[in-house]
A and B are shown apart, each in its own frame.
Chain A
């Protein structure tokens, strides 16, 4: 949308780029908690992105998210959970990312390697990309097993052509509402994460990460701790002239030192031919069943460390997107997604799937239009030397 060299001088002048996006979506679910179907039309994922750089090594990245205004009660999404929402995806905080990075701190002294440090609000160096930056409209069930988002972070990273490593400190508590900032005093640094990414072939990458998160669901800090693992392999490169994306991931979150354990496996892919894109995702994820205070909200703050049971969600999602016309810089991409999920209790507990939903499966339909302008959405959660390569090209005015 905007590539604006500033008046500042030097070999690498200041630059800034903007992008905006969102999805107007009509979403339906065949069953909901308490029974009955539900249909909603919402503006989801409304975002405004800013990437700025100066003096080559300094970069700022901001992603504003306005779901607090457009979906304050969350997005209808059976299976989704987290931040006090259940069977609805929570709205993100208004400031989704705001990270300053100093990159290539050692210059030429470390050869082709790049060492950087980043600080601000964003993702901890753990897991896979934010679902918002992936081809699907629907968030997977495993969002809170596979990403650690919207924290105050301090991340050191280093990258060579074949391997990258990150380690970060952050506050363990997750947001309670869209307008809330991370709790710095008493919480920053109580949690950490580390991720190693390998780039064995162009377009392919493999990551492994681990995090220890203190009391994510209780801001004052009395909640249970989590130990989280994530392994994934990702492909993003054209094959036979057609853009091809694929991701397989495994995630495991152990809570209360193994008293609760939640697993997830997920595989998704997207194949593009011209203006047309086909996509499919398979997911099998376990989630905690907590006491609800209403159909779509769980009890917050907690009173004790009990759950009602664990359910396993096996979900197939297929979708189709077509790139529509470019209207004076406004990109419109109609899309449709269909999901079929089965719910099953794992182990004991008083939670009963059929008592809550009336059946053990759900159909979901999403029809919408993805709207974008300016810079496309970046891969979130990788900062400094790991920032999206595409993005860095623009920042630096040329390829790496």
Chain B
């Protein structure tokens, strides 16, 4: 700002809204393919949906209670059976007392455990259920966290099972629980995260935990990789990066990510980072996908981005063999990006497909997962969908 602007009258004249990001993303990209609805949709009318996980022929979706829908909080896990074509049918609802939101859902790789985070209520925290009968989860154990658990990620490290959980502010932290005995959850480590809105999600792979910590950026910990002699009991920071805030100028708002292991090139070069910008839930949003080169894990650096006008990204899934990134995109629905080769600058030309499964005004997509050749999409407004596409 010029010094003249600080003069009294000038100061008034200088006040204005900033418009547009500092890096012009150019015109909105044009997709080259489409998603098609194969099944599901408009199947959770009484609650807002949250996260999903698909395992085998069952799917589990959470519910969100930041606002009541038809008077209902988000205290339910929906249990879906997938038919031979993968189409979902609701078979039961697991009602969890004392919570207001099921914030994150995951099934263990062997299908034996259903793990989810919970917020809003006296029973908020981490909950573990057994899936001996996938239609009838059986409670095994839980640990209460007063401010709630925002996300919970299962990881196998050195023969033991852990959950990497994100504790909400006031004192945000990465909590690492040992659930090897799922009936006896134990805390292995608590790593404080700066309260610049704290930690939102964690991606764990090859003994490295990528912590997505809002305006603090991405923090990479060795939790068993060997790079820095870290462990789940003693995470050791490897590196960190703060991604750009071009989409909303209100900070990087680092929310989630996926470390891409490219089987075609053998590279493990790119980390995709979701920026959760400001949003009017159910209506509008913003926030970009940022691509970070983690070739040197100790010095990660941003190399590319993807931007959609009028919408912001949320959770990811990847088809690594086909080098496609799927991103939930709130009011824009779902986006598929070609992430093959070298990634640099604006990835607008990499857009393969986009689609709003609930249609305009009834789409606010939380998460995506590829399973059995179908893309499953959970939408806060219109429920669980089965899509086909690129």
Contact = CB atoms under 8 A, between A and B. Distances in A.
Interface of A: 158, 165-167, 192, 194-196, 208-212, 218, 220-225, 227, 229, 254-260, 291, 293, 301-310, 347-352, 355
Nearest to A221: B196
B281 A308 contact: yes
6 contacts: A303-B198, A304-B214, A304-B276, A305-B253, A305-B277, A306-B279
B168 interface: yes
B280 A349 contact: yes
A218 B169 CA distance: 11
B11 A192 contact: yes
Q: Which of A166, A194, A195, A351: most chain B CB closer than 10 A?
A: A194
Nearest to B16: A227
Contacts of B255: 304
Given A303-B169, A348-B361, A349-B280, A256 B249 contact: yes
Contact of B48 (A167, A301, A350, A351): A350
A227 B15 contact: yes
Contacts of B19: 257-258
Contacts of B198: 303
Given A220-B195, A305-B279, A310-B280, A167 B15 contact: no
In the A-B complex, the 5 residue pairs with the closest CB atoms: A348-B283, A210-B15, A194-B11, A165-B8, A350-B282
B280 A220 contact: no
Contact of B197 (A166, A259, A304, A310): A304
Contact of B251 (A222, A308, A351): A222
B283 A256 contact: no
Contact of A259 (B6, B8, B286): B286
A208 B12 contact: yes
Interface string B166-198: 001110000000000000000000000011111
A209 B12 contact: yes
A257 B249 contact: yes
Given A210-B15, A256-B248, A291 B66 contact: yes
Contact of A258 (B17, B194, B251, B279): B17
Contact of A291 (B17, B67, B361): B67
B17 A227 contact: yes
A221 B66 CA distance: 23
B18 interface: yes
Contacts of B66: 291, 306, 308, 350
Given A256-B278, A303-B168, A309 B11 contact: no
Given A309-B282, A351-B67, 12 more contacts: A195-B12, A218-B197, A225-B250, A256-B250, A257-B19, A291-B66, A301-B169, A301-B170, A303-B197, A306-B279, A350-B281, A350-B283
B15 A229 contact: yes
Contacts of B120: 293
Q: Which of A212, A221, A222, A227: most chain B CB closer than 10 A?
A: A222
Nearest to A218: B197
Nearest to A351: B67
B9 interface: yes
Given A210-B15, A350-B67, A222 B280 contact: no
B104 to A, nearest CB: 13
Contact of A349 (B6, B278, B282): B282
Contacts of B361: 348
A259 B248 contact: yes
B67 A260 contact: no
Interface of B: 6, 8-9, 11-12, 14-19, 48, 66-71, 120, 150, 168-170, 194-198, 200, 214-215, 248-251, 253, 255, 276-284, 286, 361
A211 B361 CA distance: 34
A79 B381 CA distance: 27
Contacts of A220: 194-196
A218 B215 CA distance: 13
B195 A301 contact: yes
Contacts of A229: 15
Nearest to B19: A258
Contacts of B14: 210
Contacts of B214: 222, 304
A224 B277 CA distance: 10
A319 B166 CA distance: 51
A349 B283 contact: yes
A259 B195 contact: no
Q: Which of B66, B69, B70: most chain A CB closer than 10 A?
A: B66
A309 B251 CA distance: 21
Given A291-B66, A308-B67, A260 B251 contact: no
A260 B278 contact: yes
A349 B18 CA distance: 24
Contacts of B69: 350
B285 to A, nearest CB: 8
Contacts of B281: 306-309, 349-350
A172 B387 CA distance: 46
Nearest to A301: B169
A299 to B, nearest CB: 8
Contacts of B9: 165, 196
Contacts of A310: 280
Nearest to B285: A306
Contacts of A293: 120
A301 B171 CA distance: 10
B305 to A, nearest CB: 17
B283 A196 contact: no
A257 B17 contact: yes
Given A227-B17, A301-B169, A350-B69, A167 B286 contact: no
A195 B19 CA distance: 24
A218 B214 CA distance: 13
Q: Which of B8, B14, B71, B255: most chain A CB closer than 10 A?
A: B8
Contacts of B71: 355
B15 A257 contact: no
Nearest to B172: A303
Given A258-B17, A308-B66, A196 B8 contact: yes
Contacts of B18: 257-258
Contacts of A192: 11
Contacts of A352: 67
Contacts of A350: 48, 66-67, 69, 281-283
Contacts of A195: 12
B69 to A, nearest CB: 7
